[in-house]
Amino acid sequence: MMATPFNTAISRRTILHGSLAAGAGLMIGGWTPALAQDAPLTKPIPSSGERLPVIGIGTNAFGVTDTAEIAARREVLQNLPGLGGKVIDTASAYGRSEDVIGQLLEAIGNRDAMFLATKTPMTGDLAQGKAMLDSSFRRLRTDRIDLLQIHNFHGLDELLPLLAEYKQANKVRYIGITTSMPRQYPQMLAAMAKHRLDFIQVDYSIDSRESADRILPTAQDKGIAVLNNMPFGGRRGSLIPKLAAVPLPDFVKDYGVTSWPQLLLKYNVSHPAITAAIPGTTKLAHLHDNQQAGRGRLFDAATRRRIETHWETLGIS
């Protein structure tokens, strides 16, 4: 098949400007009037029944020092709850991300409006891991973390009992494990079979659907919530710039979809096993666009299959 031409230098800002102008019509504060009237879509955490908005944010790029960049991230955190989001996912391995998030949430004063998730340090040493984990609480400026996750299976056997202790002491509300690498899927399957987990976090996107073979069905069968990382792809680079010159398929517009980021996110969270997607979000314009994917209707199974079939015709890799 012939690949659709694209210009990888085109920014997401350009994509959004064109797609929103063409498909959204009059905007009110970044929202189309129809979507502004819809309540955010939510899904339950199976272990508790607590519901989460289906679109959160990832913060791998939050560890910045530039004043303008910090201001941009403050806009994201300040506006997230009002736009319908709640989940913030970070990690001790993301440079200064925890520091920046903790400082900004404290300054804004909206920590209680968030579902704050972080990950353990990438170490198998229990003493070192505990010290670094306790420092995450200090950096995040909180005495309670909503979700604490074992990062890429580093120290799983050593650190998971510690996470259970933190949960028992009400310092942590939920515990889980993460990966974004198919080579670790056997470990994830084994961990889901052996341990009582509230969450897993795994990669899934239209161009990388391997986790749908066994990981997602197993999580669904066992009643484990799923956070979706790398929802825009990532193994071969983000799909967003590659889609700059590609028109949206007409059949998704009935779902209120007006941009490729919205299509990709809504496709992901429409999978019955996925609780929420956590796209990296560092700019307010991206937050507005992403959160619209969490409004309106989810794609039904037939529409998801139609999207997959359409994707194969594009020849994008």
User: Token pair for residue 36?
Assistant: 């502004």
Count of H-run helices and E-run strands, the chain: 11, 12
Distance (Å, rounded) from C-alpha 317 to C-alpha 31?
A: 31
Rounded Cα distance, 200 and 225, in Å: 6
Count other C-beta atoms under 10 Å from residue 198's C-beta: 20
Asked whether the beta carbons of 150 and 118 are under 8 A apart, the reply is no
3-state helix, strand, coil in the chain (%, to 5): 45, 15, 40
152: region left, alpha or beta (phi > 0 left; psi from -120 to 50 alpha): left
Per-residue pLDDT of the chain (317 residues; tens, 9 = 90+): 333 332 333 345 544 544 444 333 334 334 444 445 689 999 999 999 999 999 999 999 999 999 999 999 999 999 999 999 999 999 999 999 999 999 999 999 999 999 999 998 876 677 777 888 899 999 999 999 999 999 999 889 989 999 999 999 999 999 999 999 999 999 999 999 999 999 999 999 999 999 999 999 999 999 999 999 999 997 778 999 999 999 999 999 999 999 999 999 999 999 999 999 999 999 999 999 999 999 999 999 999 999 999 999 999 97
In the CATH scheme, what is the homologous superfamily, with its name and number, of domain 12-27+41-314?
Answer: NADP-dependent oxidoreductase domain (3.20.20.100)
Phi-psi region of 256 (alpha: psi -120 to 50; beta: other; left: phi over 0): left
The CA distance from 88 to 307, in Å, is: 28
Predicted pLDDT of residue 36: 54
Q: Domain limits of the chain?
A: 12-27+41-314
Q: What's the pLDDT score for residue 123?
A: 65
- What is the pTM assigned to this prediction? 0.88
Q: Which two tokens stand for residue 178?
A: 């993460």
Select from 243, 296, 288 the least CA-distant residue to 57: 288
> How many residues does this entry show for the chain?
317
How far is Cα 206 from Cα 299, in angstroms, rounded to an integer?
A: 14
Which pLDDT belongs to residue 22?
A: 39
Residue listed under structure tokens 């594009």: 314
* Contact criterion met (CB below 8 Å) for 203 and 179: yes
Q: Are 261 and 288 in contact (CB under 8 A)?
A: no
The residues with which 226 forms a beta bridge, in sequence order, are 200
Confirm if 73 and 67 have CB atoms less than 8 A apart: no
Provide the b/e sequence for 27-47 (b: ≥16 CB within 10 Å): eeebbbeebeebebbebebbb
Q: What is the per-residue DSSP string for 196-241?
A: --SEEEEE-BTTB-GGGTTHHHHHHHHT-EEEEE-TTEETTEESTG
- For 64-97, give the secondary structure using H, E and C: CCCHHHHHHHHHHHHHCHHHCCCEEECCCCCCCH
pLDDT of 121 reads 80
Whether 24 contacts 32, CB under 8 Å: yes
Kindly give the residue spans of alpha helices, DSSP state H, lying in 174-283.
185-194, 215-222, 260-269
- DSSP letter string over 99-127? HHHHHHHHHHT-GGG-EEEEE--S---HH
